[in-house]
Structure formats: structure tokens, C-alpha cells
Amino acid sequence: MLKLCMLFIISAFRLSSSWTNVSTGAYTLRRIGKASAISATKLFSSMPDTPYDYLVIGAGSGGMASARRAAQIDPSLKIGVIEKSALGGTCVNVGCVPKKVMWNAASITEVLHDMKEYGFSTTTKASFDWPYLKQRRDIYIKRLNGIYERNLANSKVENIVGSASFTSNPNELMVTQSDGTSAILKAENILVATGGFPSFPSGEGVKEVSERSERALRKTSILVMNPAKWLQT
């Protein structure tokens, strides 16, 4: 039997949940794929009473890697990953991936601005469509969500949709889905890989001019400013 100790993977940010009420962070993008269509009632009713060898709370990079690696080491283990939102965690949904898409868009803007200096010319002024960029970005992320979902299935790791909290028994989790359906799941080993939320530094005006990425990426419109002119005022 593979022995896995309880680990606590903490992001660079402050943990937002207590030990007795652990839930995954909220992400803006809904995941897609066949498993996503499973209702809470059907999912829980299909679960046997036998305990898990290993349960992971949080389907971010750390949680997904740990669960799949454990399944690879010992395929006989019963393993599940609990996630209430989009698979892939912060990086895929509201971190690295969407930010790089936005960075690429900004880079293209710079190229268009400088192309005349390199001998390129055009009679048509380039226009920018923010809703289209946002739509294409979200479609790309949903594709990644589907890949993560298929990877779990290929590794024979159960994808459990819901939020989790510890009961009085350290080897039991109360898993609740969005429709209120809940179930008690037992596991010999539990990994808490929920990450956290950013903590704004103190200072006048910091919160007023700062925005968490999951909120910023939901914006349906933007204000384009000229930073050079803004700095001169």
C-alpha cells in the first residue's frame, strides 16, 4: 500500500480557508467536457461506501499532479480529486494562461505601432475588438479544462465536483455541490491543495487601483489610456 502523508500545499498568498472549512477558490471560467454534465445527484449516488486511499481537495497544478502521480505509482489505489469550479486552478483559469494571452495582444499592439520604422506600411488602420479577444481567450481556456478532465479519466482518478470541508473526523470530508447535494467521503490520506487569495498591501489608494485577476478577466469592457500622457500630468 502506498503511504501518503497529509500535505498542505500553500500558494504564495495567504490561505483564505480554515482547517475545518476548506474550499477551493472561485474561478471565472466554466469547464467543459463529458464529465461536467454529470449532475450532483447522479455523481453522489454512484459513489460506493468504500473509503478512498487518497483524496485531493483542489484541482490546481499541485493537486492534479499529486493525484495522477499517486495513481501512476499504484494503479490499485482509489483516488479522487474534489473541485467546485474549473479544473486547472489559478494558472490555467485566472493566472498564467489568460495573462499570457493578454500579454501577446499587447505585444501585437506594439509591433503594429513600430512597424513603420521597419519599412512596413498599410493604408488600413488596425482596430481592436475586446469582446472578440475575450471570447477567443475563454474558448482556449475551456479547451485546456477539457484536457485536464480527460487526463483525470485516463489516470483513473475520480473527478468529484463540489466544495469540501473536514468533519470532526480527520479522515472524513463533507462534500457539497452547488445544488446543495452533499455526501460524506472517507479517505486514509487527504491532501489540501486549495491555494489561496491575494492579500492587498496596506497603503492609501492601494485597493482602489488594484484588482484581483479573476475579477479583471471578467471585464466586458476596458479603458485604454496613454501611460506617457498620464505620467506627465
Q: Residue 113: what pLDDT? A: 86
Cell numbers given for 231:
505620467
- Is residue 31 pLDDT above 50, yes or no? no
Residue 84 has pLDDT above 80, yes or no: yes
Give the Cβ contact number of residue 155 at 10 Å.
Answer: 17
- pLDDT band, very low/low/confident/very high, at 22 (cuts 50, 70, 90): very low
- Mean pLDDT computed over every residue of the chain: 76
Domains of the chain as residue ranges with CATH: 1-90+139-197 (3.50.50.60)
What is the predicted pLDDT for the residue at 11?
Answer: 31
CA 165, CA 102: separation in Å to the nearest integer? 35
pLDDT > 50? residue 2: no
User: pLDDT value at position 221?
Assistant: 64
Q: What is the b/e burial string over 33-55, where b = at least 16 CB atoms within 10 angstroms of the residue's CB?
A: bebeeeebeebbeeeeeeebbbb
The mean-pLDDT minimum among 42-46, 70-74, 79-83 falls in 42-46
